[in-house]
A and B are shown apart, each in its own frame.
Chain A
């Protein structure tokens, strides 16, 4: 890694820290906005707490301190990795979340894999064809992107699992249980990816190099697969950074539909019971993953595009 690259990565990470700080501040603001309910959240909804107990809770959680002090406390705790205690479960948030990260990561990873593979195949097969093929493909992509995935999930679950018994139903674990939710979650992503990928391929095929490669006697498929695809991969990598967010949003719904464990489910129950420490931990986690993935994508560019590896001239 050249020193320039290292510096750029470092800068990126610093900027990422800025984003994390912003996310932490955002969650703190949310905490402040619902503070009155926070006490109730700690005490439970139907507890008959005496004013003395209330005061004790307020004091224990530091709700009586000046906002700035509370804010600094909050940041200080976050820096040391202490995300607070869940009001609802009365366990440390880290403990409540740790078991849920892996199922969601599995789901997201499998969905990304399916989306990337399918969209590369579709884009390679449909690029450079006639207008009719293009229209058909883009129409299908529009539908894939538009139709709500969780609804497709409900229907797929009914027919594939319950009626035809092809795949295990809701709540199943293991690889076969992962297949259907991941496939459903990947549908909108596949639509977007293949659309962007085909545009990238079309763009690459219009470049002069495409003609010279063809002139060397390379067939059209080989041209796409070996040369144009590399150009289009950059846009694919860009989208991966965006997919983090989209995957997480989709995962909340898909996990509910398929009754899968995971961050989405934890988040939902936390939102329902206004368990803000858990919500803010999820927010920070998602922001952190976003930052890391985007730094990785930046590094990927260097691998994909050799032009970026040479020192800048201008």
Chain B
């Protein structure tokens, strides 16, 4: 029988890269995949532009030269000039800092706050878990952009507030993912062993739970960084970002859109820069997920236990701009259910198989299955084991 690519690796891994990762022996194909290299190189270039823009362009972003206003791309001005004769290339290069800072700091805020909420919910008392998850359910019912806009009403405009707003809006994503991970790890033998050895709760969380939860969270973070950059550009486009003179991709789009007919380069290049960041983040995130799956070593072993943690990454399927929160919609969809704290956990396995039919009548059974899954999940032979080995923890998980 032909060995089928593991379902987990394929689920939501539609990019050529991820598919090839799934189909190839672990670890091999990934490193050689040209798309991953290209994405890495482009991102490296953008990071360079953000850190040291002077290296890429000698021009200042706000130097005006009215004599050469609105000229098309040429040797002297590779991306053309705008109506004040400012060099678009220089502006795009200098804009990388603002855009990437917004993206990265939003991700950091969302990640830290979400991980905190998720860990507290997963490890805390049941009542607290219920309350926190209901709260997350409510936030899930609102689109990320709307949440960000509410945050902007409260905080005010400006790049820093935009970053905070996007970060707050992404907290529910991370909270759910981390909580699901915590529940998986919590039920493992090595955590039990650590507890038997008399380790405190904090120690266990820091030593076992968080490191184990990190894999999928890292993938989500990589992909949603791209999403945060787009949302940031979108919010600047709507006028909530940095003020006019500062070079920022979103506000460059606003500046340029009135002249699009005569000078399409004004809109083309900043937009391309945004698109490049998202694409590269998605490609790298997917490759990372492929690697997480490979590192678990069970790709070669064929069947995977239960809901392998890596697959539970929401948003992996599609690093979507405004709303990086795709097919895992299994869990989201059920947001308003009274049981959805369980179904958030269900989300992980059902994301594996793609969202699965679940009616109001069937939801209990699915969740029942999920909790069965939870209790039986020794977190994929892989992750935990690897971790156990790496961290040299006393509670070394049994295979």
Contacts and interface: CB of A to CB of B under 8 A. Distances in A.
Interface residues of B, number: 83
Contact of A192 (B150, B153, B283, B317): B317
Contact of B274 (A145, A151, A235): A151
A245 interface: yes
Contacts of A76: none
B267 A155 contact: yes
A146 B319 contact: yes
Given A146-B282, A248-B146, A305 B332 contact: no
Interface in A50-106: none
Given A22-B138, A196-B326, A241-B333, A154 B260 contact: yes
Nearest to A157: B260
A35 B52 CA distance: 42
A145 B134 contact: no
Interface in A287-314: 287, 290-291, 294-295, 297-299, 301-302, 304-305, 307-308, 312, 314
Contacts of A220: none
A241 B332 contact: yes
A180 interface: no
Nearest to A23: B138
B11 interface: yes
A33 B154 contact: yes
A145 B153 contact: no
A221 interface: no
A143 B275 CA distance: 8
B137 A19 contact: yes
B23 interface: yes
A238 B333 contact: yes
B61 to A, nearest CB: 20
A242 B253 contact: no
Interface string B313-330: 000011111110111011
Given A23-B142, A203-B353, A142 B267 contact: no
Contact of A272 (B10, B15, B145, B239): B239
B337 interface: yes
A252 interface: yes
19 contacts: A8-B361, A19-B335, A22-B141, A23-B138, A135-B19, A141-B14, A147-B321, A154-B253, A199-B12, A235-B355, A238-B327, A245-B144, A248-B146, A253-B322, A257-B257, A268-B238, A286-B142, A290-B142, A305-B357
Contacts of A304: 357
Given A142-B283, A151-B271, A249 B322 contact: yes
Interface string B289-328: 0000000000000000000000000000111111101110
B152 interface: yes
B368 interface: yes
B365 A146 contact: no
A181 interface: no
A309 B97 CA distance: 55
A151 B267 contact: yes
B41 interface: no
Nearest to A149: B321
A271 B282 contact: no
A272 B239 CA distance: 9
B320 A192 contact: yes
B196 interface: no
A266 B193 CA distance: 57
A276 B151 CA distance: 12
Given A30-B150, A291-B141, A234 B14 contact: no
Contacts of A250: 322
Interface string B208-236: 00000000000000000010001001100
B323 A249 contact: yes
A279 B279 CA distance: 32
A274 B20 CA distance: 49
A19 B143 contact: no
Nearest to A16: B336
Interface in A93-144: 131, 134-139, 141-143
B264 interface: yes
A5 B12 contact: no
Contacts of A262: none
A131 B19 contact: yes
B23 A294 contact: no
A18 interface: yes
Given A23-B141, A245-B323, A246-B322, A150 B234 contact: yes
Given A18-B336, A146-B319, A135 B16 contact: yes
B317 A248 contact: no
A212 to B, nearest CB: 17
A242 B325 contact: yes
A172 interface: no
Given A134-B19, A155-B268, A294 B335 contact: yes
B135 interface: yes
Interface in A264-289: 267-268, 271-272, 274, 276, 279, 282-283, 286-287
